[in-house]
Amino acid sequence: MAVSFGIGSYIEGGVISAVIVLNIVVGFFQEYSAEKTMDSLRSLSSPTANAIREGKNIVVPTAQLVFGDLVEVKVGDTVPADIRLVEAMNFETDEALLTGESLPVQKEAHSTFDADTGPGDRLNVIYSSSTVTKGRGRGIVFATGMTTEIGSIAAALRGKKSKRRPVKRKPDGSAKPYRYVQAWGLTTSDFIGRFLGVNVGTPLQRKLSKLALLLLGIAVVCAIIVLGANEFSSNTEVIIYAVATGLSMIPASLIVVLTITMAAGTKRMSKRNVIVRSLDSLEALGGVTDICSDKTGTLTQGKMVVKKAWIPSKGTYTVGTSDNPIDPTIGDLSLSEIEPRKEDDEKSDGPAVSPVDLLKDNKDLEQFLTIAALANLANVHNTEGEWKARGDPTDIAIQVFAARFDWNRSRWTSDNDDAIWKQRAEYPFDSTIKKMSVVFESDSESMVFTKGAVERVFESCSTIILPTGQTELSEDIRNQILENMEALASQGLRVLALASKQLSQPIDELKVPERSTIECDLVFRGLVGLYDPPRPETAGAVTECHASGIAVHMLTGDHPSTARAIALQVGILPSNMAAVSADKAAAMVMTAGQFDKLSEAEIDALPLLPLVIARCSPTTKVNMIEALHRRGKFAAMTGDGVNDSPSLKRADVGIAMGLAGSDVAKDASDIVLTDDNFASILNAVEEGRRMFDNIQKFILHLLAENIAQACTLLIGLAFKDESKLSVFPLAPVEILWVIMITSGMPDMGLGFEAPAPDIMTRPPHPMEVGVFTWEVMVDMLAYGLWMAALCLSSFSLVLFGFGDGSLGTNCNNSYSPECDTVFRARATTFVCLTWFALFLAWEMVNMRRSFFRMQPKSDKYFTQWAIDVWRNKFLFWAVIAGFVTIFPTLYIPVLNHKVFKHTGISWEWGIVFIEAVLFFAGAEAWKWGKRVYFRRTERTGGEKHDDDLEKKAFAAYFEKTD
């Protein structure tokens, strides 16, 4: 820019200045827009708290809490600070955001623990941002803000690495003087590298920064060549020629087109439920090879739901898939007479049956549902057409199951005297007893309803209802029930038992009997299996990941058997585990205890990294990301909790959840899913690949033109006038016109090109190679040299073939009659290059397929190309605009002679048309040769297309090791 203004080329300087300003403005507003969008997602913090001050319970802003405040919390509250409990009544909190556990944690105010006890095991403490799911509590604030458990993680994430290189010291702490010089030298080189962009950003951005520096160097060399060819003359014509040659090698529109393309991609992603916080991540997603995903709330819905219920006298009831766990109207019901323990041999859930039909003449099911509804503190109700729930997740799930049969608690109980069932006593759940019981009375009977852990309910049961009637609960029957429980647990279900009995007489509410006298001689009614269900779209999304060459790893805090079952269900583990070799099967599913005990060398020695790691801690997830990096993988991490934040930060692409995710996790991420849907990651990956393809296309298009222009001008040095000075075939403004008008806009159109049909069936592109593959490099030379050859031939034909061959005098500066032929030849060359640039944009829509047959399966042999051209309207109108704007530059007086240094043409249009046909012929011949080459390479390489996606995705695990 400075050189252009320095030599008086104000037009060139103005255009380059406009490019720089546009790039800065677009980048600033896009980043600003992304941050504004993120602000709307910040909704985690608790705004108020109930504090007891001066003996009064007052509501204060959370930010005003101080150490020592006495705070009360109850069901539904968000904990405002880290609090040491002093009182807890049947109190549980959901700490999934901190620990990753989907089940609530029961708190014990009077327990004490060692100082080194982990956060998840401190049962006398409740943590900031967790939610109360049951009971009430009171405690003393001991940490607020950034000093809380969650705040400490956030503080660690915000700590930035020093940009100053450390001095290498001896063991005693001393260092020689040259070590200080070395450290400062490396720090300075790092600063320069960051300033130039060659050691920051994604691999593509670093390569483009290096490319820009390389082209700048080449531009300087080209300018020196021009000056040398003209004996370093100080003549203005020579300087203008040198400037023109230098400009021809600088892709002035590259950065602005790249920025606009990425900004447009960000807007597209926001419409597909993905907020991009960093433009870097959008193109990086296309190269992701592994996705490490949390289970709770990411692969699963983060809510408990009843999947199976086994009633010994009737069989197994199954609930179909539902995208809303608290809506009892969604999901089919079916009944199978097969017990869960026999499902492996005879798996059949039976056809869907309506709840009304299932209840018909079914007293045992009615008894089971009554226990489910009444031995339950949750509330499920429909308000203005929307289902809502309140209470413990487990109780909610069981209550929803009862509500499927219109048997929910609100139907049988109320505060009015006409309630069918009236509660007389409650024996709450206790962590030592692991069961709870309630006593209800109706007009005709008094009943005990109990639910809890299977082993503990067994202890209180003496009989069971079988198809043959009420039978004594023998040891053999107990073993069968345990087998059924294990069968349900192996499916990843949490299993509870339900039981009941009829009391001989009503109880006195003022003198409630001892628990031991109530919870005895119960009748075993059945088992209920609950699980945190995968999202309905998760399995399909995992399959698409495998089809795209992306491995999916589950890193969860859940129990290994649950994690394994969910992983099998969604396809993270292969269904045919028997075909996996023993050593690889052992490495497939591990616990955090096993994985964290391994050193880096031992992890790297594993045949393959685990697909499932259970009981994860934040350190485990970070270790997994680093292990993937050591294997040369490009890893993405998804998660929603604070416990996911360190690994989100360390991953190449961090993906946070917008609805259930914590603010800390969002701050640590690169992109945020507004719908918390794992399947939306596929949208992000597809967009990343589409962008990568399109960036590759417009970079090839742009650099091929640069090569054509540079070669035309360098070879054109041979055209010397009577004063022995070179006459340029293309003027500086013509070059800028081609770069900014007939190249810049079509390149933007290529950036908006739709994804290729096979984009999600290809493996990830290698990030270390980036866009500059061998194919792109060779294409760049082939198209550039062919265009240069045609441009030089058009210049020569007009000047020497049909003209007198005179190059005149001072034809680089001004028009004169003796320069008319030169100006006509220059105009012809300019039009040819412009047309080639526009046609090349259409050829780049598909880098291998013919422009006339981009859709090989189409039967529109003669019109398909027109449909393809019209499909991308931005590119279409950009090309049309390029055609139209040629004419003003050619035929408007003064503009043509003074600015563009050419003149209007007439019969030369014939040369232009012939050259255009030759360009198409050469481009199509080159693509045909490429298709033949790649087909032969595929055949000789022995590549096979395996239709079995699972076998292909897990091929490394199925292979036998010696």
Catalytic residues: 294
Run of H or E including 426: strand 422-427
Bridge partners (DSSP) listed for residue 614: 591
Cα distance from N-terminal residue to C-terminal residue, the chain: 64
- Pairing between β-strand 469-472 and β-strand 494-502 as defined by DSSP bridges: unpaired
Three-state DSSP at 588 gives: helix
Cβ(687)–Cβ(693) below 8 Å? no
In Å, how far are 71, 81, 127, 391 from 92, measured between CA atoms?
16, 16, 12, 10
The two structure tokens encoding residue 161: 């690495």
Q: At what angle do helices 203-229 and 236-248 cross, to 10 degrees?
A: 160
Cβ(538)–Cβ(573) below 8 Å? no
How is residue 712 annotated by DSSP? H
CA 608, 613, 618 angle in degrees (round to 5)? 115
Q: Which residues of 332-351 are buried (b: 16+ CB within 10 A; e: fewer)?
A: ebbbbebbbbebeeeeebee
d(CA 634, CA 461): 55
The two structure tokens encoding residue 805: 């061959």
In Å, how far are 18, 702, 737 from 21, measured between CA atoms?
5, 20, 18
In Å, how far are 291, 366, 678 from 327, measured between CA atoms?
31, 20, 21
CA 439, 373, 420 angle in degrees (round to 5)? 65
Task: Give the sign of the dihedral formed by CA 429, CA 431, CA 433, CA 435.
Answer: positive
Q: Tell me the one-letter amino acid at 149.
A: E
Three-state DSSP at 943 gives: coil
In Å, how far are 426, 508, 517, 909 from 514, measured between CA atoms?
11, 12, 6, 106
Three-state DSSP at 569 gives: helix
d(CA 634, CA 639): 17
Three-state DSSP at 249 gives: coil
Three-state DSSP at 885 gives: helix
CA-CA-CA-CA torsion for 552, 558, 559, 563, nearest 10 degrees?
-30
CA 783, 785, 790 angle in degrees (round to 5)? 95
**What is the maximum alpha-carbon separation in the chain?**
125
Task: Give the sign of the dihedral formed by CA 394, CA 397, CA 400, CA 405.
Answer: negative
Beta-carbon contacts of 457 under 8 Å, excluding residues fewer than 6 positions away, are 435, 450, 451, 497, 498, 499, 522, 524
Q: Nearest to residue 336, comparing CAs of 358, 321, 369?
A: 358
Phi first, then psi, for residue 380 (nearest 5°) are -125, 125
Q: At what angle do helices 254-271 and 680-715 cross, to 10 degrees?
A: 160
Helices and strands: H and E segment counts in the chain: 34, 27
d(CA 700, CA 771): 9
